[in-house]
Structure 1
Amino acid sequence: MRINETKAKLQAGEPVLGIFVGFASPTVVELCGIAGFDFVVIDSEHGPMNPQSCEEMVRAADVTGITPIIRVAQNVSQVILRYLDIGALGIQMPIVNTRADAERLVQAVKYPPEGRRGLASVRAASYGLGEPLADYVVEANKQTMVISHVENVEAVNNLDELTQVPGIDVFFIGPTDLSQSLGYPGKTQDPAVREVIAQARQRIQAAGRVAGFMTTDAAAARRALAEGFRYVTVNTTGLLGRAARSFLAEARG
């Protein structure tokens, strides 16, 4: 099974930089890998992808060495299983607000004895033609990542319990949804929102866990890293849109 370099870096105390891709394009995933991103979050929550289109994007990630993580829309084991079986090395889950939510997520991602994931001779297991399935199960539990979103006031209030759940690699603060939950929809730079984000990050770090964050550009990513976030992302559409506007403004004078 492929080594999860992103997980290895986090376990070594290093930061990682990733990019969300919200449309079905193996080419974009390949480009992001060649560019040097540590991981890609294939966004099947807000994007129009299904397991089949995600599988092609995972293949592109494998070719270029970028870690494929899939954001799944539902915390349901039968849904999560399909994305793991195509070769995702991590599952990123929105709306994880309670300890029960977090435990259900880990159970879905991990094979027994750590979880309840179902086993079959699928792509992730080299179609049963590689290492023995018993060895694959052990390695898969080591390599797969679990990323839990903190994007709701309820999740923030429950952070002390959430950070005690074993098996979660990253607690990812989603600023846009959190701003909406706080009553400031889209106002991610509002002082009230920023304060809650800072407090959530501090509580995650105090528990000895990894904090993640979505940023908008390189300057914001540098700030997030300086604040101690170690799983930092940007969005493909944002990068492309800003680059396009910058080009047009400069070209047109």
Structure 2
Amino acid sequence: MEVAKSRSLDVMRQGGVAKCTKLSLGDSRAIEIAGLSDFDCLWVCTEHVPNDWAVVEKQVLAAKAYDKDLLVRVARGSYSDLIKPLELDASGIMVPHVLNTEDARQIVYYTRFHPIGRRPIDGGNADGRFCNIPVADYLRQSNERKMLIVQIEDKEAAPYVEEICALEGIDVVFFGPGDYSHSLGIPGEINHPMVEEMRRNVALACRKHGKFAGTTCSPQEVPRIRDMGYQFISTGGDVLGLHNYFESCRAAFDQ
């Protein structure tokens, strides 16, 4: 038995672009519906969304059934908040609002096993096949196959991007244009020149240090963002899709 591979990491390591979309609804059926489309990764959240661990566990199982990665954006807290999704066998975690190099280094320490970090060991969960993977294999394969994404979404992090990208153990550095614009005092202006400059800087630093650049954008912007060098791109979301669909249904009564 082995630790499950990440479809997204495999795609990016082969030079491709990992296709992701975000789901806010706390329902495994939403994961199944998204799983019918050819995404590599489905992104759920415990930072802004009141999903409990039982919900996340069902979402992981639903994603597995459709051969998709399940990425969990975690809430910032203790090390347990960081590693719990990994133990539920999520494909990876996204850690929000990483502000400096030491912050990123601490995240690596908590979420990677020896020799990279000191993540606490418990192979008796789904990711370790309930103690059916030898410990040495479990640690090595987890370090290689579980995706660690850190988010750059504050102006305070700008001076540290190069150092963060150079840290061992991080797979993806993800630029969040919404909160970054907020930190600059121009909330919502995600195509402002200062936001675009930072978006380019993240892509360049990732390329320089052998990391994958990630971000979110509208479907129309995917080609431009891909050409900028981003290999992990999230677009769309279930709440947007439902709103647009229901609006189109209601508009039918105006005809």
Which residue number in structure 2 is paired with residue 168 of structure 1?
170
Alpha carbons of structure 1 residues 60 and 115: separation in structure 2 relative to 1, 3 Å: same
Which residue number in structure 2 is paired with residue 222 of structure 1?
223
Instruction: Show the 5 A alignment for 1:131-150.
Output: 131-150=133-152
Which residue number in structure 1 is paired with residue 234 of structure 2?
233
Tell me which of 190, 193, 198 is aligned to 1:191: 193
TM-superposition CA deviations, 1:128-187 (whole Å, max 9, x none):
2x3323322221121111101010112122112111111111110001100001110112
Alpha carbons of structure 1 residues 219 and 246: separation in structure 2 relative to 1, 3 Å: farther
The number of residue pairs the alignment matches comes to 251
CA contact (8 A) 2:101 2:163 kept: yes
Which residue number in structure 1 is paired with residue 208 of structure 2?
206
Q: How far, CA to CA, are the matches of 1:29 and 1:10 in structure 2?
A: 22
Q: How far, CA to CA, are the matches of 2:247 and 2:204 in structure 1?
A: 36
CA contact (8 A) 1:42 1:70 kept: yes
Task: Give 1:208 shift.
Answer: 3.4
Alpha carbons of structure 1 residues 200 and 140: separation in structure 2 relative to 1, 3 Å: closer
Q: How far, CA to CA, are the matches of 1:80 and 1:56 in structure 2?
A: 18
Q: How far, CA to CA, are the matches of 2:148 and 2:252 in structure 1?
A: 42
User: What TM-score do you get using the length of structure 2 for normalisation?
Assistant: 0.91
Task: Give 1:70 shift.
Answer: 0.7
Which residue number in structure 1 is paired with residue 80 of structure 2?
78
Segments of 5+ residues of structure 1 without an aligned counterpart are: none
Q: How far, CA to CA, are the matches of 2:232 and 2:248 in structure 1?
A: 27
Q: How far, CA to CA, are the matches of 2:108 and 2:56 in structure 1?
A: 21
CA contact (8 A) 1:75 1:93 kept: no
Deviates more, 1:192-201 or 1:99-108: 192-201
Which residue number in structure 2 is paired with residue 115 of structure 1?
117
Higher relative contact order (CA 8 A, sep 6+): 2
Q: Does 1:97 align with 2:99?
A: yes
Task: Give 1:76 shift.
Answer: 3.0
Which residue number in structure 2 is paired with residue 12 of structure 1?
14
Q: How far, CA to CA, are the matches of 1:240 and 1:189 in structure 2?
A: 25
Structure 2 SS opposite 1:115: coil
Structure 1 residue identity aligned to 2:129: S
CA contact (8 A) 1:22 1:44 kept: no
Aligned-pair identity in percent equals: 25
CA contact (8 A) 1:184 1:193 kept: no
Structure 2 residue identity aligned to 1:6: S
Structure 2 SS opposite 1:158: helix
Task: Give 1:72 shift.
Answer: 0.3
Tell me which of 35, 58, 61 is aligned to 2:60: 58
Q: How far, CA to CA, are the matches of 2:175 and 2:77 in structure 1?
A: 17
Structure 2 residue identity aligned to 1:224: I
Structure 1 residue identity aligned to 2:227: A
Structure 1 SS opposite 2:225: helix
Q: Does 1:126 align with 2:129?
A: yes
Structure 2 SS opposite 1:163: helix
CA contact (8 A) 2:173 2:202 kept: no
Segments of 5+ residues of structure 2 without an aligned counterpart are: none
Q: How far, CA to CA, are the matches of 2:208 and 2:138 in structure 1?
A: 34
Structure 2 residue identity aligned to 1:62: K
Tell me which of 44, 47, 50 is aligned to 1:45: 47
Task: Give 1:33 shift.
Answer: 1.6
